[in-house]
Structure 1
């Protein structure tokens, strides 16, 4: 079935306008053909139009590329997933000595290392920036013992990037080009600003359409989220994960479940190697999303149908936009119904919420949970380098069951799921945004 791109260009424009998205680029592969369309502007201050060859920041979708790089090295026999990081990086340290000795590459790629890992540290623009970043990880504490749970960890992927540098003898950016970009012919995928500026590049925007306070994140967090690309290049990368030999001999290995997620309502039920894993209407779905400063990206791969979809935007209500777009597109292509996001129950659920109140804290975020008249309220505050780049959020939480709640911030049409975990013999956690945040007060 040939896709009607006049229709999808119109829908992309309409959905962007409804979700206050300044500019968007969509590409998808279906039935042997790649389709592309774009809408809006790259920068509201200049009015430069988005084209299908414009570059956007894909944020944490980068992590799937970094995971793929390590798997390529594993296929060459240089490492295994269970190789301890210290075996490759003898100087690697975190705050806990047992974790230092225990953390493996599998822990890094599945977000099960337990490292309190939202360390957005600028260690300079030099080729040694990842080495200096890993040195700074010596001060990071453990959220939980390695392998004990799942908590999204940016630092873990920077450490993985440094492992790639050590094994290849090249800086991560160059290794990326040689391992992935060159073999797949990705001419519009870059990491450094001096390369990106040769193309039309998107600027991030705040909730009101104004330009973001900065263009991008420091080079030192590159392996966790610094790729800039076109939607079509991202689709080509996704397709390689459905084709044995395109990059990896067995790309399906990355889609094998490694850990069940403690909050299965925020993007997937399980995590593989680099991929978030879910099932929609009987279809296996591997995906990843990414956020940088005012930009958002999403990549979905459906192995059963061979369909791959990527969408890149530079502001607006990203969760609402991506859900509406992928829901319409997959229903049209495959009669597939994407599950609706978790919402409050039709009838109120009575829960004793007092045990959940308090302060929860991790690197980059402090969360206050209070109660009033039996209802929970949650306020998140960015800390450290994220102050001024991320915004505080307040959510009124409605109980879904005894430990699961959902809340919607002002202006959002889709709620956020929050799961509380109280361990009788250990700390309590708040699972939100993919992170496990321990209770500290």
Structure 2
């Protein structure tokens, strides 16, 4: 198979241990796997190998929540306090007006300040309790800023209250069992270890992949990143979305109206180039040369999952890996299967920018970016976590040049062949200087900029 051979060559090029690839076209699945589940055991990967889906989990959680909407138990636009009267954060407006739609499309703006909620079954209840004084990164609804764990944990808590059972049981009863999924679970302890792929990190091509020091994400990331699955099971999810809420065996999972709402309720993404220009309800909306394509992606510490859904072609493609760069490998596989795939934009060398408007420190707890002007160009310096830097053999501070694509968008190439070129948005010049830096879907406020409601900006 030409595509299989091409994927094998790409694995060698990137140093990735394995990949499982599946194509759903007009209801028919074609799948294959190449490489090994674990470099230490050299056991081959198969189409039954279970990979970590990371934030692709959010699409599963969104789908289950919309079942509750179908049943009239929940509403996308009712305040969260309708279902969780105890819910509160530092900002009174967010406390009063936050809705499920804000959580689903990542416009809630709440800092991920949920502390250590432990690993027990009351974890989502504790996360909601722990954010009583959590500040706003940006005003409610003001911009898009990805919530890795908190937003979907709040949704999970609503689901627990409405269904009277834990989120893991909700997912099993509402999705996994009705869909007949034999390889999909929401907790590490449920995974058949004989089928599980091991995550790997790659410090250099010469050294090759090494087993990740973190087997699974903490349980706090469960509703937003804890699902493990197989190629065929992920494509079963895709078929539900392609077929207006109906499973391959004819079972209705959600209403056609809810699937349309998932796809059509959208907010703009400040950085439109890395993933897509809009975010829907648990889905990314991409523009592939005029064709609307939906994406749901995820990464853990050493594993990556990428799904593209093409309604016009009645097609979906999934790529699951256990190591390597997150974007460039999958993009090349998609290109082999689907033909033309959008590339990153080219920098515009003729742009004349007032560099002083971009300079500053943009930060959130655990992440700090410093943008500075040097020699007529902008540079970004990222402070790495010391333990991460030591494990990866990288310096504590990484410096990149920012190449302008537009007055608000930049390419951030790396000299490291194992590191993908990133895209960055620096935007919102309400006060003259930029207020936010957006990269990898995360938003970081500029130090010294005030958090104000949209009406006052």
TM-score exceeds 0.5: yes
User: Of 50, 53, 57, which aligns to 1:62?
Assistant: 57
SS in 2 for 1:343: coil
Identify if the C-alpha distance between structure 1 residues 114 and 434 changes in structure 2 by more than 3 Å, giving closer, same or farther.
Answer: same
Q: Kindly indicate whether the alpha-carbon contact (under 8 Å) linking 1:55 and 1:202 is maintained by their aligned counterparts in 2.
A: yes
Greater CA drift, 247-256 or 382-391: 382-391
**Does residue 321 of structure 2 align to residue 313 of structure 1?**
yes
Q: Kindly indicate whether the alpha-carbon contact (under 8 Å) linking 2:326 and 2:420 is maintained by their aligned counterparts in 1.
A: no
Identify if the C-alpha distance between structure 1 residues 114 and 39 changes in structure 2 by more than 3 Å, giving closer, same or farther.
Answer: same
Correspondence for 1:437: 444
The CA deviation at 1:207 is: 2.1
The CA deviation at 1:45 is: 2.0
Correspondence for 1:131: 125
Identify if the C-alpha distance between structure 1 residues 106 and 384 changes in structure 2 by more than 3 Å, giving closer, same or farther.
Answer: farther
**Does residue 39 of structure 2 align to residue 44 of structure 1?**
yes
Q: Kindly indicate whether the alpha-carbon contact (under 8 Å) linking 1:360 and 1:439 is maintained by their aligned counterparts in 2.
A: yes
Residues 380-428 of structure 1: per-residue CA shift (max 9 Å, x gap): 2356998889986532111122222111122247421111113325971
Across the aligned residues of Structure 1 and Structure 2, the Cα RMSD in angstroms comes to 2.1
**Does residue 143 of structure 2 align to residue 149 of structure 1?**
yes
Identify if the C-alpha distance between structure 1 residues 92 and 393 changes in structure 2 by more than 3 Å, giving closer, same or farther.
Answer: farther
**TM-score, structure 2 as length reference:** 0.89
The CA deviation at 1:237 is: 0.5
Correspondence for 2:206: none
SS in 2 for 1:126: coil
Question: 2: distance between equivalents of 1:29 and 1:389?
Answer: 38
Question: 1: distance between equivalents of 2:125 and 2:391?
Answer: 25
Question: 2: distance between equivalents of 1:39 and 1:395?
Answer: 34
Structure 1, unaligned stretches of length 5 or more? 1-5, 332-336
Correspondence for 2:249: none
User: Of 291, 296, 304, which aligns to 1:288?
Assistant: 296
Question: 2: distance between equivalents of 1:306 and 1:384?
Answer: 46
SS in 2 for 1:163: helix
Correspondence for 1:92: 87
Q: Kindly indicate whether the alpha-carbon contact (under 8 Å) linking 1:300 and 1:309 is maintained by their aligned counterparts in 2.
A: yes
Correspondence for 2:73: 78
Correspondence for 1:408: 413
Q: Kindly indicate whether the alpha-carbon contact (under 8 Å) linking 2:64 and 2:171 is maintained by their aligned counterparts in 1.
A: yes
Correspondence for 2:199: 204
Greater CA drift, 133-142 or 312-321: 133-142
Identify if the C-alpha distance between structure 1 residues 63 and 382 changes in structure 2 by more than 3 Å, giving closer, same or farther.
Answer: farther
Correspondence for 1:275: 283
User: Of 341, 344, 353, which aligns to 1:341?
Assistant: 344
**TM-score, structure 1 as length reference:** 0.92
User: Of 341, 360, 363, which aligns to 1:361?
Assistant: 363
SS in 2 for 1:323: helix
Correspondence for 2:185: 190
Identify if the C-alpha distance between structure 1 residues 113 and 279 changes in structure 2 by more than 3 Å, giving closer, same or farther.
Answer: same
Question: 1: distance between equivalents of 2:54 and 2:217?
Answer: 9
Q: Kindly indicate whether the alpha-carbon contact (under 8 Å) linking 2:114 and 2:130 is maintained by their aligned counterparts in 1.
A: no
SS in 1 for 2:318: strand
Correspondence for 2:454: none
The CA deviation at 1:120 is: 7.7
Greater CA drift, 93-102 or 271-280: 93-102
Identify if the C-alpha distance between structure 1 residues 120 and 397 changes in structure 2 by more than 3 Å, giving closer, same or farther.
Answer: farther
The CA deviation at 1:35 is: 0.8
Identify if the C-alpha distance between structure 1 residues 384 and 94 changes in structure 2 by more than 3 Å, giving closer, same or farther.
Answer: farther
Structure 2, unaligned stretches of length 5 or more? 204-208, 247-252, 449-457
Question: 2: distance between equivalents of 1:122 and 1:176?
Answer: 24
Correspondence for 1:334: none
SS in 1 for 2:61: helix
Correspondence for 1:380: 382
Q: Kindly indicate whether the alpha-carbon contact (under 8 Å) linking 2:3 and 2:336 is maintained by their aligned counterparts in 1.
A: no
Q: Kindly indicate whether the alpha-carbon contact (under 8 Å) linking 2:359 and 2:371 is maintained by their aligned counterparts in 1.
A: yes
Question: 2: distance between equivalents of 1:325 and 1:121?
Answer: 39
Q: Say how many residue pairs are matched.
A: 429
Greater CA drift, 103-112 or 274-283: 274-283
Greater CA drift, 71-80 or 353-362: 353-362
Q: Kindly indicate whether the alpha-carbon contact (under 8 Å) linking 1:254 and 1:273 is maintained by their aligned counterparts in 2.
A: yes
Residues 116-155 of structure 1: per-residue CA shift (max 9 Å, x gap): 23x5855223211111122222232111111111111121
Question: 2: distance between equivalents of 1:330 and 1:307?
Answer: 9
SS in 2 for 1:111: coil
The CA deviation at 1:177 is: 0.8
User: Of 21, 28, 31, which aligns to 1:33?
Assistant: 28
